[in-house]
Amino acid sequence: MEWYYAFIIWPSVCLVIAFLVISKSKNKGQGQRPPGPPGWPVIGNIFDLGVEPHRSLARLSRKYGPIMWLRFGAKNTLVVSSAEVAMEMFKKHDLTISDRAINECFKLNKYDQVSMGVAPYGTYWRMMRQLFSNNRIKATEKLRTRSMDNMIKWIWNNAQEKGSVEIARFTEIMVFNAIGNAIFSKDIVYPHSEKGKEFFTATAKILEFITKPNVADFFPWMRWLDPQRVKKKVKQLLGITIGFSFALVKERILDRQIGKRNEEKDFLDVMLDFQGNRMDGEPTKLPEINISIGILHATDTTTDTVEWAMTELLRNPRVMRKAEVELDQVVGRKRKLEEGDIKNLHYLQAVVKETLRLHPVVPFLVPRSVREDMEFMGYLIPKNTQIFVNVWAIARDPTSWDDPISFKPERFLNSDVDYKGRHFQFLPFGAGRRICVGLPFAERMLHLTIGSLIQSFEWALEDGITPEKISVKESFGLALRKADPLKVVLRPKLHEMQENVAQVQ
């Protein structure tokens, strides 16, 4: 709760300045603003966010409408909460809102300039996006398969040792290594890796700080004070994550200098080609910082989606059974699921879509920033306004979805609705120019991981737990994760596992 006190004390110190700058200023030609709740002097609508902002803003939108105006300190904010408004915005104003709204922590070490997720729209961003083309990702299929095989074996070994398994722990390591293979062409961590644990811990704390409300983000004149010491803490943690990445980057640079190169360029090769092959004893910044946060962000969102999917399958045994039957019919139990099988697993595809709809792990798309004054649906939206698209609220809107709070994969079986930015009632990866660059990778990983988990094991709950008692409490952060980790009891189902379950690569 320390940030609540910070929002009260520090704005009070700057009360006079605040009123001069934002509260009482009357700009000529201000134009009409969208409706929204009245805010407090100086701090605006900060306290309207609550501890679950996606739910709080969804409730407010039911009162004020799907296009809503808020002010967080000095930050003008537009909140979009319906498919109709989202379609109007992305179809007619996508270029005008193609920049990101950046908070102070993202500016450390120039992360906002080199990160795929928040870099300015331009040449560098377009180059980075090419790294996640379908062809590049398809080329690393064997590496993903190896990471998946290891995950299944680690899970079963842990189940034999401890009885119940916390699935997210192993899916996190698997996704981390799958991404690591795309970047470095090799696995990075293992279940008992101390260096990997240190990296995970440091990056998770960074993500926690980035997602917490920070006074300096809402009151620009207070940036130099860093009143909550957020930048100081994040900078210390970045030292750990950049050091981890730099060791791998340095190894690659040395290899390149002696003429040793991979047959197929990976993510790191392309980044090094972009900035030049140089090494001066210090981190080269561009690759290390992008890798440091980018790896765990992708790992975090994919892992959380898998955990939500398995949670809903266990809460809905009928759905689990249908997914199992389909896998038995299409793939069987004598061989492992492969990426090439996914196109024939229509019910599994529906399960993935329904999980992304009901539990979008990024409840608000990464905030956009208005590049210039724009007229939008009869309102004047000034330059630098940040835009929140509440995809969580849109995906539960009863005007777009029948029985929206129930988990029903069948809704997608005879529907062409997908998550690739064409259907604005369903935007887990965004839309337009800034649609998630990792979508092709995430699409493969989600289907393969969820399908492999269903195919490999018979699933049961711990004693005393029934499907109705499984918690679906959320924990809000950079990803909307399950507050209580899912723990399950497993038995091997694949013939190969039953014959040999202890050999780990």
Phi and psi, residue 492, nearest 5°: -70, 145
pLDDT on residue 31: 66
Which pLDDT score, from 0 to 100, does residue 15 have? Answer: 45
Give the mean model confidence (pLDDT) for residues 209-215.
72
Q: What is the structure's pLDDT at 19?
A: 45
| pLDDT band at residue 124 under the 50/70/90 scheme | low
CB atoms within 10 A of CB 221: 12
The answer to whether 253 and 239 are in contact (CB under 8 A) is no
User: At residue 14, does pLDDT exceed 70?
Assistant: no
Cα angle 120-123-128, degrees, rounded to a multiple of 5: 80
Distances in whole angstroms, Cα of residue 468 to Cα of each of 304, 316, 321, 472, 501 = 20, 9, 17, 10, 32
Summarize the confidence of residues 250-255 as an average pLDDT. Answer: 85
Long-range contacts of 116-125 (CB under 8 A, 24+ apart): 116/290, 116/294, 116/437, 116/438, 117/294, 117/297, 117/366, 117/437, 118/366, 121/433, 121/434, 124/274
pLDDT band at 7; cut points 50, 70, 90: very low
Show binding-site residues.
436
> What value does the mean pLDDT of the chain take?
83
Name the region of 377 (left: φ>0; alpha: ψ -120 to 50; beta: rest). Answer: left
Tokens 């501890």 sit on residue: 51
* pLDDT digits 0-9 by tens, 79-117: 999 999 999 999 999 999 988 877 766 666 666 665 666
pLDDT at 482: 94
Mean per-residue pLDDT, 158-180: 89
> Binding site for heme, residues?
436
The pLDDT assigned to 108 comes to: 64
For residue 356, which of 407, 424, 401 has the smallest C-alpha distance?
Answer: 407
pTM recorded for the entire structure: 0.86
Encode pLDDT of 128-158 as tens digits.
Answer: 677 677 777 887 888 889 899 999 999 999 9
> Beta strand 164-166 with 487-492: parallel, antiparallel or unpaired?
antiparallel
pLDDT at 381 (0 to 100):
97
Report the percentage of the chain scoring pLDDT > 70. Answer: 81
Least confident range from 117-121, 340-344, 382-386: namely 117-121
* pLDDT for the residue numbered 29: 43
List the CATH code of the domain at 2-499.
1.10.630.10
Mean pLDDT of 146-175: 91
